[in-house]
A and B are shown apart, each in its own frame.
Chain A
Amino acid sequence: MGKIKLTAAVIACRFTRWVLRVIGKGGTSLPGEVAARLYPNVLADLAKDVNTIVVTGTNGKTTSSRMIEQTLIESGRTYFCNKSGANMLGGIAAEFCQNSTITGKKKYDWALIECDEAAFKTVSKYLNAKCVLVTNVFRDQLDRYGEVTHTLSSIISGIKNSKNAVVCLNADCSLTVSIADEIHNRIIYYGVDKPIYERTVEEISDAPYCIKCKSQYVYSYRTFGHLGGFKCMGCGYQRPVPQVSVSDIFETSESCSVVSLKIGEAQYKVKINLPGGYNIYNAAATACVGYALGFDAETDVKALETFECGFGRMEMLPINNARLRMILVKNPAGCNQVLNFLCNNKERSLFIVALNDNYADGTDVSWIWDVDFEKLLTVDDKLSEIWVTGIRADEMAMRFKYAGIRTDKIKVKKDYSALIDDIADYDGAVYMMPTYTAMLAIRKRIADRFGFKEFWK
């Protein structure tokens, strides 16, 4: 009976997906929801024999996943992944339906699953993950998740459901490391041993006080946000020594970072093929997952040097003479990292912010006031103009005014078509920082006009 139901669910899921494609909708979660409605155990049955890697945490899920994917490619492992940001239960179930046989047998050895932190608690019940990576815990879309401690407890429940998983934790994040006490899994830590940037934005720490005893942390160094060499003077809780770590940073440029990466006992010089300090963390996380699963470290290092990222993660979309890079932001921590990048950039550029407040963006946009946009004044001569668009463009324009940017330099361009026309006329580097739904909408318009691939294809 189970077999028939499973087959029916797989077929229903694929059919729903096919219908959505035919009518031109990129729906990613509905097909899985249909399958689960027909047979609630569909995901557990399909995931049973697949080696599943789960990537969760506030920031860096997608980029880390793409880097890990490259290690799977380089090592010749067969795999599938949930690529299109479908990281809730429905989307994940749909990926498993799509990547099995009609009767529910596995087609690939590995599944690489990016999972929303809040959804992880539920999704984990079905997955029997082999490895769980927690990238970090920052404040994110508070209107949706409540507070940071809720995010943590969701991740802890998820790991408790993943009894057979080796867990990779960011040693520099005091919130993430606190998970260790709550779980019985094997843990591998990764981290960055030194500060990354010369100039950094001022950030509010998301975790100034010890999560265990509430004394203030002291830091031997900080990388960004609350990440770094933390130690609590009250109870002694401190950054664990990571098995995988970035021990030196030789170069950070507009196109890459060159670092020294320690993996277990071995040391590698690595060119990470994506700029930005947060991507140094994503690279270390990737090496950590490889180390945890016993992959060949040299292959993993090669993957970091060759991989290319897409879908709004420093994604390059050249339009005529405009070298447009899209950098998706979802929260202050991510946004501060984009500003760190811009403030250390030596080239003249145009900066665009697209701020929406739909559910997937976070309906509360107040986080833009927790971000140190004031720092842009230090590179004012490098910014030709600042354009704002999206549903909350006026709020964003005002934020720049209060950051001290001259108002004649701030242009509100709410109409996407006109915005894209103006970008197409621009000559030089353009950095666009959209929130999630703004990115989908703008990217689609650009794709339609200039022929880039749609993300679900």
Chain B
Amino acid sequence: MKKLKICHLYPDVLNLYGDRGNVTAIKKRLEWRSIESEIINANIGDKTDLSDCDIFFIGGGQDFEQEVLLKDIAAGKGRAITDAIESGKVFLAICAGYQILGKYYKTHTGEVYNFIGALDLYTVGQKKRMIGNYAYECEIDGKKTEIVGFENHSGKTYLGEGVRPFGKILYGNGNNSQDKTEGARYKNVYATYAHGPVLPKNPAFTDELIRTALKNKYGDDVLEAIDDTFENNAHDYMVRRLLNK
């Protein structure tokens, strides 16, 4: 039986906005295809071995807890995360998790926090939050796909040369509400601002992560189709509402 090991990074502090639903979505869609999964929580202070994990998830959190987090990253996990990314491991990074993979965060009062620096991007805080349901278009498995989610961030993210945007904004703000880009892609890292959580109602996205991880591990990229009626209903409702389709 095939098996994927999923690492949930910092669920103790980066656990806002229902993002753990993404881990549930991956786990369930593996289970429905008779693929085994194991979920490992890597909390602050844990000396978890990250090297044999197949999919990494890092979600959103609130500012109050980020100081504790930065200390732990500096103590070694930052290095381990960069190594996993460079070796082609699958990463889903959302909101604060997305920003943390970047180089730094500059607050609206000018303080600079150095982040992991695994991705060529940085974030600048502003007072006004960008909040609401939003939609973007990206290419998944060779097909144009509309992703729907809920954004809630005050940081504006700007991408460097080393990464490419994940999608193009159809409705809402995205990375910085200026250049119409949303999220970032680098190797097998998928970074986005989409809460919701994003994976359950965008099953094509979930399957892309699973397919990539299976290919990494077993060299095989065919995924059995499953009944997505519930998922598509939730997805299509939001597409209709935002894009009047």
Contact = CB atoms under 8 A, between A and B. Distances in A.
Do chains A and B stick together as partners? Answer: yes
Interface of A: 139, 142-143, 146-149, 204, 208-209, 211, 214, 363-370, 392, 394-395, 397-399, 401-402, 404, 407, 410, 412
25 contacts: A142-B16, A143-B132, A149-B64, A204-B20, A209-B13, A211-B64, A214-B67, A364-B17, A364-B195, A366-B197, A367-B18, A368-B18, A369-B18, A369-B20, A370-B20, A394-B230, A394-B234, A394-B237, A397-B230, A397-B233, A398-B200, A399-B21, A402-B200, A407-B230, A410-B230
A214 B68 contact: yes
Interface in B186-245: 195-197, 200-201, 230-231, 233-234, 237
Contacts of B63: 147, 149
B42 to A, nearest CB: 15
B145 interface: no
Interface residues of B, number: 34
B131 interface: yes
B175 interface: no
Given A147-B62, A208-B13, A402 B152 contact: no
Given A208-B13, A366-B150, A369-B21, A398 B234 contact: yes
B62 A148 contact: yes
A148 B28 CA distance: 31
Contacts of A395: 201, 234, 237
Given A142-B16, A364-B152, A366-B150, A398 B230 contact: yes
Contacts of B197: 366, 369
Contact of B65 (A209, A392, A398): A209
Nearest to B71: A214
A146 B152 CA distance: 9
B107 interface: no
Contacts, number: 88
Interface in B116-175: 129, 131-133, 150, 152
Interface of B: 12-13, 15-21, 24-25, 28, 62-65, 67-68, 129, 131-133, 150, 152, 195-197, 200-201, 230-231, 233-234, 237
Nearest to B203: A398
B21 A366 contact: yes
